[in-house]
Structure 1
């Protein structure tokens, strides 16, 4: 006779918290192998929608200007993003994703779904995503 899994007795909040911490730790290792950080991946994800000023990027990523500056510096150094002068308003500098940045973003997106240690181990990945979106929306995170 097999013993019941003690995890099944944990409160849902504890399950979510532990799952988030363990997933984040594993995810950071996967991203590091690609030369990315979690912050860098978030910035690349936002930049797939088009170039932004650093302030606009910071706002969309929900971080401070100083944080995004360091993140963009690392992305530029790695060749994943570039800064260019805005042709319309030459006082502005725009941050854009590069081809290398788009490629590493695509690799990271695939890894999230396919890596058996990460969310690839989840039986219904899309169902989990829908439920997480629903939970976050219900709690009150406003998206721009």
Structure 2
């Protein structure tokens, strides 16, 4: 039989959920400003960090590779992403942002004020502590 979380744990979980919901809403709004869906914006953001094969994008987004193929197709049609051979394995295609894709991803990141504004109210020491606690909660996955 599972034990019920204590009130403090329940409150922390609810606060994390609220933060996630607000971030998701703002991300969707920012994406819409560029006529992108939230999923398209997330893929573009991932690819702006490094080109990657569809399978890895799907793993990072926790979705099916076929979904990623459709998203990349639409981004490619808009000139934001291109497919290119992987230099390490020419049989594998990498999705990579174009110059316009990188610029759009950068503008999207800059448009996300939700986290930046509240975090600015915390000292550097508090932000470091929060980062370290979140990394600890996520284990190796969060680093």
TM-score by length of 2: 0.70
**Whole-Å Cα distance in 2 between the matches of residues 141 and 40 of structure 1?**
27
Question: 1:44: Cα distance to partner?
Answer: 2.3
* Per-residue CA distance 1:78-136 (angstroms, 9 max, x = gap): 22101134466543322111011100111011112xx3xx2243123975586256325
Distance 1:57 1:108, change over 3 A: same
* Per-residue CA distance 1:51-77 (angstroms, 9 max, x = gap): 322223323443321121122122112
Query: 1:34 and 2:34 equivalent?
Result: yes
* Per-residue CA distance 1:4-31 (angstroms, 9 max, x = gap): xxxxxx9222222223213312321121
Aligned residues: CA RMSD: 3.1
Question: 1:141: Cα distance to partner?
Answer: 6.6
Question: 1:39: Cα distance to partner?
Answer: 2.4
Deviates further, 103-112 or 79-88: 79-88
* Number of residue pairs matched by the alignment: 131
**Whole-Å Cα distance in 2 between the matches of residues 97 and 61 of structure 1?**
17
Query: 1:124 and 2:122 equivalent?
Result: yes
What's 1:56 paired with?
56
What 5-or-longer segments of structure 2 have no aligned partner?
1-9
What 5-or-longer segments of structure 1 have no aligned partner?
1-9
**Whole-Å Cα distance in 2 between the matches of residues 30 and 102 of structure 1?**
15
**Whole-Å Cα distance in 1 between the matches of residues 36 and 129 of structure 2?**
26
**Whole-Å Cα distance in 2 between the matches of residues 93 and 24 of structure 1?**
29
**Whole-Å Cα distance in 2 between the matches of residues 130 and 97 of structure 1?**
34
- Secondary structure of the residue that 1:36 maps to in structure 2? coil
What's 1:104 paired with?
104
8 Å Cα contact 2:135/2:142 also seen in 1: no
TM-score by length of 1: 0.69
**Runs ≥4 residues deviating over 6 A:** none
